[in-house]
Structure 1
Amino acid sequence: MIASLDLPSKVRLLTGATTFTTAADDTIGLGELRLSDGPTGVRGLDSSGVREVTLLPNATVLASSWDTRLLYDVGQLLAEEALAQRIHVVLGPTINLHRSPLGGRLFEAYSEDPLLTGLLATAYVRGLQDAGVGACLKHLVANESETERHTMNSVVDEATLRELYLTPFEIAVADADPWSIMDGYNNVNGVAATEHVHVNNEIVKGEWNYSGLLMSDWFATKTAAPAANGGLDLVMPGPGGPWGEALVAAVEAGEVPMSVIDDHVNRLLVLAARVGALGEHRQYPSDLPTPTSPERREQLTRLAAAGMTVLTNNEGTLPLRQDQSAVLIGRHALDTVCMGGGSAEVNPPHQVSIAEGIAALTGTPVTVVDGVAVRTRPGSIQRGVLLDPETREPGMHFVLRSVDGSVIEERRSASAVTTVGWDDDLDVDVAAVEFRAVTTLEGPIDVGAMGVGDWTLNAGDAGFEYTLGPPLADDAHAGRPGPSLDEILGGAMQKPPFRLDTVVVGSGTEISGAVRRPMTPGRFSVTVAPAQRSSADAIAEAVSAAAEADVAVVVVGTTEERETEAFDKSTLHLPGDQDALVSAVASAARKTVVVVNAATPVIMPWRDDVDAILWVGLPGQEAGHAVAATLYGTIEPSGRLVTTFPPEDGQSPAWSVTPVGGDLEYTEGTFIGYRGHHAGRAPEPSFWFGHGLGYSSWEYRDARLAGGSRVHVTVANVGGRSSREVVQLYFAPDERDQPVRLVGWQGVTVEAGSSADVEVSADPRALRRWDTSASRWTPLSGRGQFLLARGLGDVRARLEAVPAGS
């Protein structure tokens, strides 16, 4: 096939044809490859907000299950979602590590540990690809933060690069053979990831003998010959880009060998053959579960609950009993955050709040007290707050108009968010985005608008006119100049400018207006919510309600403002006055349970003042049902933490995510997360990696080495209910320059009063070090201790290792 193509035809295949598709070539039977953002849902080819798709729990929740079978099931579920939209490749999983808890995109990645991340990713990839849908490991490599992400240079020594950041990719490549990998935006030791001969060619395609395709992150490729020679196979998106005629010219000038081009094309064709887009194209099933089907909703509830984690539980406060009177407090109880921001966002059919989930489980109305403000920007709307005025379906009606006023397209978005000019492939420029909806709220409401353009917004008798973003002269073109790369992948798409106004309306009031001269690509949304009260009033009402109930459940957390692509955090403290809310309720309530609706670590100054803490992550579209099931014990929250929770800002082994002079130096080496805390390079954490109590108690008996690096232990469930235990095996080497590390784990479910024999084998890839002088792997000395633990804060047995040959 390759021999039948001339050079321009070959090169045409190596750049995307559109934002999320590649070029077809009928002469060789090649169809387009259809790619989709993931992995918390398969958005599809169009992010305009029209298509409703399934929203899964975020990656840290799924990873907190420590369950490879569950991750395989996730891959299978996503494959069904992809097949329903005829998608060939899902752009996931994200397997960068949680280096610093400030990383904005940590919610998309599994953990701070390379072995846990690699083995979970392996299961996910197998689940996808066993169904014929390609996975895409991302982002290669040392891509753990978002600040200056298009220009920053990760400075990482070779041993750290190998032992930590490349290891999850190496494991997944060896054990699951993923069909594609994505190169990141960043530089690594001064070389762009898309041009990195050492990583792409020497390690991935050379040492690992990787047979799949390396694609770029969107707009990451800057050069022709250096990127082509540096191992990159496919530039995304298209149809423009740095290759095309420039790459043809580079080949003709002898700068890029034809053999390099042929290898790139070969890898693209291999991917196409694997996903059924080459030769006889695949058939697609028509009987797949829908996002709202009972089967899908049950799956999503179970997946979310499995990763929820009991952090504290004094005197068996959890699970709650239905005969207890409970009050539910906090903005997150009513407006539960189900997903993070950026390319992980999808448009789900619904997002069940915790208040709705508890009411559905108990069968009785639940007393709910709204809490303090948690956002500085307008948030997503609650379902049913806005209705399309024509269909009365939840959401907003959008009309896109051209310069001459004609209608380009009409859309309904259940989330009242629409993206214009990104992947909708419109033939003409958009001069105005009109919108209409009616609200079911009444009284004081906050009306928010987001997106670059000239806005007119009407809410009943109130009307507003303003410009968001840079103003334009009156004689400017009907549309704004196109955004820069940073604006496309940052502000204009991920965090557009906003305005918030408070008005008084009656139920059925129309919310309408238009955005003229919109910046495209751009993201536009209108939000409506009950007007936010002062913190003092909200806390006073919460305290009064808490004093009357048997138990107060306070729901706190972060939002998509912090858990997002393109931006890092500046603090781990909860936004707004949520800490003050928890402390005030704890001082008034008989029992206080805190539910933490956040994907990554937060600081908990009230930890010792409350009776129980349940960490629930960003649980996906069935969030409320999963949280209710775990609070009341119909499903055990058997999760174990995948990230160490530091006690305060700045108290992690790796903290800063801000490059200095463009460089972000990984000076902590291999001592990130629990490894650094254990070595005394950071204070004792609030909660260790691997921590999680579940709903039972355990004894570890007869721990012994079973030969080599295998450890045997009998675990006894001495609590009152069936429970799942995660037996974790760590190795603490005697070498002073080597950190403690997770080397294996085993999950086991045991009935109350029973026991089970468990054997955990150490993965040999965790028992090695990179010898920089010899440029090769070498085993650790074997001297040290194996630790059997329920997280490093609860070590149950220490066993002296026996070095090989002793």
Structure 2
Amino acid sequence: MTVNEILKSLTLKEKIRLLNGVGGWYTFDAAGKLPKIMMTDGPHGLRKQGAGQVDINDSIPSTCFPTASCVANSWDLDLIKEMAGEIADQALQEEVGIVLGCGMNIKRSPMCGRNFEYFSEDPLLAGSLATAYVDAMQKKNVGTSIKHFACNNQETRRQSSDSIVDERALREIYLRPFEIAVRNAQPSTIMASYNKINGKYTCQNKKIIKDILRDEWGFKGALISDWGAAVDFPTCIKAGLNLAMPDSGGYQPGQLEKAFKRGEITEEEINRACEKVIEVVLRFANNQKIKADYNKAHLTAKKIAENSAVLLKNDGALPLKPQKIIILGQMAEDMRIQGGGSSHINATPGPNVIECLKHKGFEIEYEPAYPADDKVESTSDQERKALAEKAVALAKKAAEENTPVLLFCGLTNRTEGEGFDRHDMALPAEQLKVINKIFTVKAKVIAVTFGGSPFALPFYDDLNAILHMALAGEACGEACAALLTGEVNPSGKLSESFPFSEKDLPSRATWGKEESAIEYRESIFTGYRYYDTFKVPVRFDFGFGLSYTSFEYSKLKVSASDFDAADANEALGNVGGKSGYGDTANATNKLTVTFTLKNTGKLAGSEVVQLYVKNPQCDYLRANKELRAFTKVFLQAGEEKEVTLELDAKAFILFDVESGKYIAPSGTYEIQIAASLSDVKLSEKITVKGMDYKANDKERLPSYFEAVDGEMFNHKDFASLYKEPLPDDSAPVPGTFTIYNSLAEGAAISKVCKKQLDKIVNGIIEDNKKMGRNENDPAVKIAVCGMTENPIESIILLTACKFKPKFARALVHLVNRRFLAACRELIFGR
């Protein structure tokens, strides 16, 4: 049957029910009138929960690939396609129709606890990787759901915070990666985020959903809510949402029925929402079940990990030959391979690095040095002291015998994860304390580091080498050993800058605050756009990474010294391919850049080549330079290749707020071929004929060019840049509290609400203690944050009405000090 035929066969009640999920993961089958499909979490592996599996860490076994933050360091679109294809195979085996991924939010701050699920601080890199992921998975007819659309850039109050973003930053930075993926891969679904954008929840935001996503970009798929994000459901459907997840226990269908009876929503609007759901269901419901090859998938995970690890420092200490070595650090034994939360994969990890190195002929002495992450709080001071003393003694022995020390350290599940953010860039205190003691004995130390985000390295100068594994998936140990010994030449490069500390972050004034309104005052100056433009030193540049070999760049040729970029807005659809923006097949005007790359070392290796465009000097907001193309080139020792990258008008664009279009300002630009942001190898200037951009005076703001009273990007200047009146997100007071506020906001003004919230939180903690978890476990933190920070109506949705609507409404009345109304609600349900 066609979509229209199925739609005509449904009653109004069935149409309304179709717009809400069934259980945690399924679509509605309308009593057999249409198939149903299952969706599961899965950015870096399949997290399918079987019958009876309700715990976030409890799911069927599947391959754990490197996380997005890790695979992005490969800059390899072919590799991410391989990963997506393997995940698709496992989805087909498990009869899963849609895999909820990939995560692709911009990394506004390295302290976001969920950054391990995201690709980059740069929209081109993030969008290109997401395009590859979506394209590969959907070619196997498994659906995707790119997320979290949009501006979900912190975990603190992620369910109710308001991302207040000026139009240029919204378009050029935060929406741009989604635009790249939509225009070039047409994901079957997109997941709308919890947060507000400029005063409106995303699921209700007509400008974001209809005007931009559908009308402007041409998105053809279904928009689904993040779990519990579709508050005020009728408004969401009118704005363009198609499916609210999960099953609300009848609450949302009931809301929609009442809205229809009141004339607030039409059957035409309901039909429009249903059509996209039916299209997706018909597309993925009848996939043929296959048998996935898990051994092959493991080898793919290993290859990705090997190609994504970043060599951050090396004074000749690496690679290692089989010999006696000292290994310190509990993370060598229990390697951290993924992050905590809804993307947690139930994997079967391969051997750890100690086992792998022993297998390669190394003689190893090992001490854990610090307690395991899940035992930090239960480890006594005396036990910690003993662990440290043994480690320092072994390091001293290594110094005396001139034996290399491998020091394993990094961020842990206690310090980063879904549902919470970091507040500084320091490594865990239990690690730092013993690390500082180890360096007092002056041993030769090679650090192997882990984490989903950048962290401070105050002991950088004391290290002889640093190999950053990030979160490398189930084959982490095998990949790490291969890299340390030179069986594989490191080729990863950082997909985000590594600042020295949290004090250097452009978003530091407003990021991660407990209040609702989060002003993105830094505007377009995220990540390297800030550090490079304002000359702020960083520990490691965007795009930085070393190799065991060396590369020579020469013979740069740019096809024209003058370039017509008048078609900038029309060129938006030409994105993707191996060089990011380099896929310009449909462009009316192209610029071809060629150069020669030679491997001048003694080992085969890969080089990530980056093309930056340096913008003309101007008196309005614009980054010094921006990534505009990239590719990864493999060369045997002594081999050379001619590398070609193509650009079109998009390489010179900014978003013109006045016209509502992307334009390329006229001027003299510089094409830079680089090994990293600051390591420019070749360059050539060109003259671009585009638009004579007349920046609005509101872009000429003092604190956007130099610090005013020691502060960059202040509130006053941001308010001027924003143009419109800033959204009113003041904290509720008695009389203004609604079901769309959170229990935490209610607790701040009502003792009754605070008592209720404390009871709920304590219940969550006690229930988890019975399962052996403390309150620092990511699963516990997610549950607590969900109940604390979600709008109250979202709690009703997530619990399928177990958190009873009449109780919720009564609680709202109590916070507003309407005691009789609360009593009537509890007694009569009014």
TM-score category, normalised to shorter length: 0.7 to 0.9
CA offset digits 1:533-557 (Å, max 9, x no partner): 5564244234234323521111110
622 and 763 in structure 1: CA distance in 2 versus 1, 3 angstrom threshold: farther
Find 2:366's aligned residue among 365, 368, 388.
368
CA offset digits 1:271-330 (Å, max 9, x no partner): 11221x1xxx23201x3213xx3x23222111111100011111x3211112x3211111
> d(CA) in 2 for partners of 1:370 and 1:299?
30
Question: In the alignment, what sits opposite 1:100?
Answer: 109
> d(CA) in 2 for partners of 1:649 and 1:601?
10
Question: In the alignment, what sits opposite 2:247?
Answer: 238
CA contact (8 A) 1:542 1:585 kept: no
**CA displacement at 1:769 relative to structure 2:** 1.2
Q: Are 2:82 and 1:83 equivalent residues in the alignment?
A: no
Question: In the alignment, what sits opposite 2:156?
Answer: 147
Stretch of structure 1 that moved more, 53-62 or 584-593? 584-593
CA offset digits 1:618-666 (Å, max 9, x no partner): 1111111111011111122210101100012221222352236411111
Amino acid of the structure 1 residue aligned with 2:367: V
**CA displacement at 1:31 relative to structure 2:** 1.8
Amino acid of the structure 1 residue aligned with 2:603: R
50 and 166 in structure 1: CA distance in 2 versus 1, 3 angstrom threshold: closer
Q: Are 2:710 and 1:710 equivalent residues in the alignment?
A: no
**CA displacement at 1:265 relative to structure 2:** 0.8
CA contact (8 A) 1:546 1:588 kept: no
123 and 537 in structure 1: CA distance in 2 versus 1, 3 angstrom threshold: same
Question: In the alignment, what sits opposite 2:502?
Answer: 649
Specify the SS of the correspondent of 2:673: strand
Question: In the alignment, what sits opposite 1:41?
Answer: 45
**CA displacement at 1:346 relative to structure 2:** 1.8
> d(CA) in 1 for partners of 2:243 and 2:16?
10
TM-score (norm 2): 0.75
Question: In the alignment, what sits opposite 2:260?
Answer: 251
Question: In the alignment, what sits opposite 1:486?
Answer: none
CA contact (8 A) 2:491 2:546 kept: yes
Question: In the alignment, what sits opposite 1:573?
Answer: 426
Find 1:607's aligned residue among 433, 449, 460.
460
CA offset digits 1:192-236 (Å, max 9, x no partner): 011010000111111112110000001111112211111111000
Specify the SS of the correspondent of 1:99: coil
Percent identical pairs in the alignment equals 31
Give the paired residue count: 647
Q: Are 2:197 and 1:345 equivalent residues in the alignment?
A: no
Question: In the alignment, what sits opposite 1:227?
Answer: 236
TM-score (norm 1): 0.77
Find 2:622's aligned residue among 738, 751, 759.
738
Stretch of structure 1 that moved more, 536-545 or 149-158? 536-545
> d(CA) in 1 for partners of 2:386 and 2:420?
28
1:667-746 mapped onto 2 (5 Å cutoff): 667-680=521-534, 683-707=536-560, 708=563, 709-736=591-618, 737-739=621-623, 740-746=625-631
CA contact (8 A) 1:688 1:791 kept: yes
Specify the SS of the correspondent of 2:111: coil
CA offset digits 1:149-191 (Å, max 9, x no partner): 1110000011110111111111101111100000001000010
Q: Which runs of 5+ in 1 are unaligned?
A: 380-498, 504-529
> d(CA) in 1 for partners of 2:208 and 2:386?
53
**CA displacement at 1:82 relative to structure 2:** 1.0
Question: In the alignment, what sits opposite 2:680?
Answer: 795
CA contact (8 A) 2:531 2:538 kept: yes
Specify the SS of the correspondent of 2:312: strand
Specify the SS of the correspondent of 1:759: strand
Specify the SS of the correspondent of 1:326: strand
774 and 326 in structure 1: CA distance in 2 versus 1, 3 angstrom threshold: same
CA offset digits 1:679-732 (Å, max 9, x no partner): 116x21100010011221111111231235432211121111111011100112
> d(CA) in 2 for partners of 1:118 and 1:769?
17
Specify the SS of the correspondent of 1:635: coil
CA contact (8 A) 2:92 2:287 kept: no
Question: In the alignment, what sits opposite 2:301?
Answer: 300
> d(CA) in 1 for partners of 2:154 and 2:214?
26
* Deviation beyond 6 Å, 4+ runs, structure 1: none
**CA displacement at 1:761 relative to structure 2:** 2.0
Question: In the alignment, what sits opposite 2:138?
Answer: 129
Stretch of structure 1 that moved more, 158-167 or 759-768? 759-768
> d(CA) in 2 for partners of 1:558 and 1:677?
24
> d(CA) in 2 for partners of 1:163 and 1:784?
18
CA RMSD across the alignment: 2.1
Choose between structure 1 and 2: higher strand proportion.
1
Q: Which runs of 5+ in 2 are unaligned?
A: 1-5, 564-590, 692-830
Question: In the alignment, what sits opposite 1:454?
Answer: none
Q: Are 2:395 and 1:543 equivalent residues in the alignment?
A: yes
Amino acid of the structure 1 residue aligned with 2:357: I
584 and 704 in structure 1: CA distance in 2 versus 1, 3 angstrom threshold: farther
**CA displacement at 1:241 relative to structure 2:** 6.1
Amino acid of the structure 2 residue aligned with 1:371: A
Find 2:475's aligned residue among 616, 622, 628.
622
Stretch of structure 1 that moved more, 119-128 or 712-721? 712-721
Specify the SS of the correspondent of 2:688: coil
Amino acid of the structure 2 residue aligned with 1:37: D
Question: In the alignment, what sits opposite 2:570?
Answer: none
Find 1:561's aligned residue among 414, 419, 436.
414
CA contact (8 A) 2:157 2:514 kept: no
Q: Are 2:33 and 1:12 equivalent residues in the alignment?
A: no
CA contact (8 A) 1:550 1:589 kept: no
> d(CA) in 2 for partners of 1:763 and 1:636?
33
> d(CA) in 2 for partners of 1:564 and 1:585?
28
**CA displacement at 1:261 relative to structure 2:** 1.1
> d(CA) in 1 for partners of 2:600 and 2:384?
47
Amino acid of the structure 2 residue aligned with 1:301: K
**CA displacement at 1:262 relative to structure 2:** 1.0
CA contact (8 A) 1:579 1:605 kept: no
